[in-house]
Amino acid sequence: MNNIFQVLKLDHYTVKTSYPRIIMIYFISLFIGISTQPIVPIFMIMFFGVSISGLTFSIIEKNSCEKIYGILPIRRKQIIIGRYLYGFILGIINLIISVVLAYILAMFSQQQTDSFILFFSITSAFCYYTFAVSVTYPIYYKFGFSKSYIFITIPLYLLILLVVFISDKFNFNETISQLLIYFSNHYVLFLFCGLVLGMFMLIISAVISYCIFRNSEL
């Protein structure tokens, strides 16, 4: 457990110099939210959060920091767990900040935000973040950041294709309508299901990344 914590600290210090850029994303999302809807920052921050979570790979590759992880008495499995845990924590922090910004915007603009819409926004934004991280991390481990950064939008396209495919094969609209009616009275359950789904995707992705990373050189 201590080794995993060391990986978390190392990832944090690696990305620390890029935190001002992250703060800029918060301000940009806030200004766009002012001119649109209070919930917009939730989606924007979580969307750009995928790029933020990839900064660790970018900086490590750019500065050839892989050897630092190789020198430390840390197993590859612990590096994977630490990296995914860092991405998960970063996502939770971004989600909390985005919700706070949404509340501030709603309060100052005096716009009423429906509780279900807020919970739906939080859950769907978090699920997209975990889905995107789950897709991009194994690609980074396989091909490196510089060669695969162009594919960072793949999760968004995959999600669109998945929705289109399901819509054609199943009675998607009716199913979604029934689910929305049910979850409109069960906000917490909806949020919990999103959290479980997100963690499940991250665990599957971590296993795939480990299978790739264990045979690579540090």
| Predicted local confidence at residue 27, as pLDDT | 87
Closest CA to 79 of 66, 92, 62: 66
Report yes or no on 35 lying in a domain: yes
Report yes or no on 149 lying in a domain: yes
Residues sharing a CB contact under 8 Å with residue 18, sequence separation 6 or more, in sequence order = 52, 55, 59
Q: State if pTM tops 0.75.
A: yes
What integer best gives the mean pLDDT of the chain? 82
Measured CA to CA, the distance from residue 82 to residue 102 in angstroms comes to: 30
pLDDT, tens only, 28-55: 888 888 878 888 889 889 988 988 888 8
Report yes or no on 38 lying in a domain: yes
Residue 87 has pLDDT above 90, yes or no: yes
The Cβ of residue 142 has, within 10 Å, a number of other Cβ atoms equal to 15
Residue 176 has pLDDT above 70, yes or no: no
Residue 159 has pLDDT above 90, yes or no: no
Report yes or no on 218 lying in a domain: no
**Higher pLDDT pick, 39 / 71:** 39
**Higher pLDDT pick, 174 / 159:** 159
**Percent of the chain predicted with pLDDT > 70:** 82
Count: domains in the chain: 1
Measured CA to CA, the distance from residue 178 to residue 161 in angstroms comes to: 22
Provide the 3-class DSSP secondary structure of residue 63.
Answer: coil
Report yes or no on 172 lying in a domain: yes
Q: Which two tokens stand for residue 57?
A: 């790979």
- Judged by phi (left if over 0) then psi (alpha if -120 to 50, else beta), residue 144 lies in left
**Higher pLDDT pick, 161 / 13:** 13
Place of tokens 């620390």: 16
Report yes or no on 207 lying in a domain: yes
Q: Which two tokens stand for residue 210?
A: 């480990």
Report yes or no on 34 lying in a domain: yes
**Higher pLDDT pick, 96 / 15:** 96
Measured CA to CA, the distance from residue 72 to residue 158 in angstroms comes to: 37
Max mean pLDDT among 153-157, 176-180, 186-190, 209-213 falls in 209-213
Q: Which two tokens stand for residue 101?
A: 């910004």
Specify the length of the chain in residues.
218
Host domain of residue 161: 2-213
Residue 89 has pLDDT above 90, yes or no: yes
